[in-house]
């Protein structure tokens, strides 16, 4: 018996006996019972094309695990899709599903005391949830990116889900017919996988690699392509070796690893949601990093090297062909932490030196697309603890935006005002009371931002919210405002007509209301009352921490013990 494996119990004990009986019934041999036992964490679901191919990916990983001398146990978890699971409760299940998934993995993998796990990452919340679980459990773990969806064609040109998302606003503004929108919907997606742009899903796949928890060279990747299956098989083989080497996530998830991930995110103008997800992974890893500080410090040093849609015209497959995450890291070779470890067992320096030169689609540091930080932390009296603005490939032709507030409590109300023509140039749409605690669960504001862009107003109308934005959103859209309105943040004190200035050079968002008036509004404000929820959202509201803490789930009386 391999006594080094935690999954092997002493013969004759109750745990040994019942486990032997259960697993013998599955057809395992005596020899199998002594092998490394690997969880294949599968978020397969028929609800969304994001997950529809994962059973096939799992089969390749399981076969590779067996060939490498391990035993694979496929387990299933929640499978949240931003475009499908967002239908109920104003999208408030989306962020809480990440943490539901973390705890789902803990129950199944830690409860069974398995030796390692391979996590099949797909839509937005699966990769961060899996990274958080790996950090929490600290057993040998590896993330497999299951790829982006192929886009379609209409009238001889490419069309993808991003265009569908934005076109809703065109219909509302009378710039597109409903029939044309339906035709876009029917053509946009030609196979399984995640959104084909630099949204949160591809961002988190790339971040998993940059952190060191996905095999170098594996992201981004076309779903069900030869490269995806090759990396899935390589992951199955590698996880068995990682168990033997006792290579664990917390030896990889160092402060240097998080800096590497932020630098790659900045070089690609990755989703603003990367900030909160990386903070949550760091919290689970008990790694003392402040993501807001990292963006402040590293932003001026890291230029934009590739502008994938919606940041520019490049498509995600062009980034893959040019070298992907590994190619970006090779371009940043003199700035990243080369000593940081990867799941390959080698350092990033070793991986980069062995990698081919990136393609021309990934610019050099000396000749970048832009030298401006692609994602910035905005502070000021309207976001004293920070907020996030994605600039993409913007050259700051409009570095300061000034306007007057229109305040909304829900996305639906904001969409109705947009359709009615109430959002004119110079409007600052404020969607407040939609944060982690106020939602609870971060209600959606992303559809409204996409509609504003579709209506052609993304440069003349700004959006500020404590609600949920999408990695595909663009325009002057400030998200993750902290503290959120439900926690007493000043966003909840904004009233229609208030003057607001967004200074993208000074990284400051200012509410022009004097302190006496704000104090009066605060005194008249009604304390936040949790929504009348039952079930998971009710539990979430009791234990979710502020967005600046990564919105992890920790009872308040334990927060200071972390």
Cβ(145)–Cβ(188) below 8 Å: no
537: region left, alpha or beta (phi > 0 left; psi from -120 to 50 alpha): alpha
DSSP 240-271: HHHHHHT--HHHH--HHHHHHHHHHHHHHT--
Strands 508-511 and 499-503: antiparallel
374 Cβ contact partners less than 8 Å away, ≥ 6 residues apart: 266, 267, 268, 269, 299, 304, 311, 390, 391, 392, 393
DSSP-derived letter for residue 106 is I
Q: Rounded to 5 degrees, what are φ and ψ at 387?
A: -160, 170
Cβ(43)–Cβ(145) below 8 Å: no
C-alpha span between 237 and 162 (Å, rounded): 36
Nearest CA among 160, 463, 510, 181 for reference residue 308: 160
**Of 49, 52, 344, 470, which residue is the catalytic one?**
470
Query: Helix/strand/coil (H, E, C) string of 513-552?
Result: CCHHHHHHHHHHCCCCCCCCCCCHHHHHHHHECCHHHCCC
270 Cβ contact partners less than 8 Å away, ≥ 6 residues apart: 198, 203, 206, 207, 264, 375, 471
Active site residue 470: yes
Compute the radius of gyration of the chain from its Cα atoms.
23
Nearest CA among 128, 138, 134 for reference residue 280: 128
Cross-strand bridge partners of residue 71: 37
DSSP 351-363: HHHHSPPPPTTS-
Active site residues: 470
């Amino acid at each position: 018996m391999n006594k080094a494996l935690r999954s092997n119990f002493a013969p004759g004990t109750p745990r040994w006996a019942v486990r032997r009986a259960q697993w013998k019934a599955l057809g395992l041999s005596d020899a199998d019972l002594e092998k490394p036992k690997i969880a294949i964490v599968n978020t397969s679901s028929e609800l969304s094309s994001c997950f529809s191919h994962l059973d096939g990916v799992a089969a390749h990983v399981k076969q590779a695990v067996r060939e490498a001398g391990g035993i694979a146990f496929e387990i299933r978890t929640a499978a949240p899709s931003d475009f499908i699971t967002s239908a109920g409760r104003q999208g408030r299940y989306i962020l809480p599903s990440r943490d539901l998934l973390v705890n789902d993995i803990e129950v199944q993998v830690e409860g069974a005391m398995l030796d390692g796990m391979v996590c099949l990452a797909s839509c937005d919340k699966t990769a961060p949830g899996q990274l958080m679980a790996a950090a929490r459990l600290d057993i040998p773990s590896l993330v497999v990116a299951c790829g982006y969806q192929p886009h379609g064609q209409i009238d001889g040109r490419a069309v993808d889900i991003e265009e569908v998302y934005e076109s809703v606003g065109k219909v509302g503004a009378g710039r597109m017919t409903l029939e044309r929108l339906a035709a876009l919907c029917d053509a946009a997606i030609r196979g399984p996988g995640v959104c084909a742009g630099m949204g949160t899903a591809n961002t988190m796949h790339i971040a998993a690699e940059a952190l060191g928890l996905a095999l170098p060279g594996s992201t981004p990747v076309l779903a069900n392509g030869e490269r995806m299956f090759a990396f899935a098989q390589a992951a199955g083989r590698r996880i068995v070796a990682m168990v033997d080497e006792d290579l664990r996530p917390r030896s990889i998830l160092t402060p240097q690893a998080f800096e590497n991930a932020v630098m790659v995110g900045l070089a690609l103008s990755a989703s603003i949601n990367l900030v909160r997800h990386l903070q949550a992974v760091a919290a689970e890893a008990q790694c003392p990093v402040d993501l807001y500080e990292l963006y402040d410090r590293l932003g001026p040093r890291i230029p934009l090297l590739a502008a994938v849609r919606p940041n520019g015209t490049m498509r995600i497959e062009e980034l893959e062909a040019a070298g992907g995450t590994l190619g970006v890291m090779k371009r940043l070779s003199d700035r990243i932490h080369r000593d940081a470890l990867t799941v390959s067992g080698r350092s990033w320096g070793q991986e980069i030196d062995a990698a081919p030169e990136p393609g021309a689609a990934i610019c050099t540091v000396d000749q970048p697309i832009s030298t401006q930080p692609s994602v910035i932390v905005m502070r000021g009296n309207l976001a004293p603890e920070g907020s996030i603005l994605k600039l993409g490939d913007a050259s700051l032709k409009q570095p300061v935006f000034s306007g007057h507030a229109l305040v909304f409590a829900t996305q639906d109300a904001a969409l109705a005002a947009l359709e009615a023509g109430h959002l004119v140039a110079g409007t600052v749409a404020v969607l407040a009371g939609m944060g982690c605690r106020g939602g609870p669960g971060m209600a959606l504001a992303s559809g409204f931002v996409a509609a504003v862009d579709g209506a052609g107003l993304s440069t003349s109308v700004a959006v500020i919210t404590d609600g949920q934005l999408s990695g595909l959103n663009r325009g002057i859209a400030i998200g993750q405002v902290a503290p959120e309105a439900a926690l007493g943040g000043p966003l909840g004190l904004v009233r229609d007509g208030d003057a607001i200035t967004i200074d993208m050079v000074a990284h400051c968002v200012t509410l022009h209301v004097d302190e006496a008036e704000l104090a009066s509004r605060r005194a008249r404000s009604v304390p936040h009352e949790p929504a009348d929820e039952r079930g998971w959202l009710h539990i979430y509201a009791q234990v979710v921490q502020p967005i600046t803490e990564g919105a992890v789930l920790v009872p308040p009386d334990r927060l200071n013990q972390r």
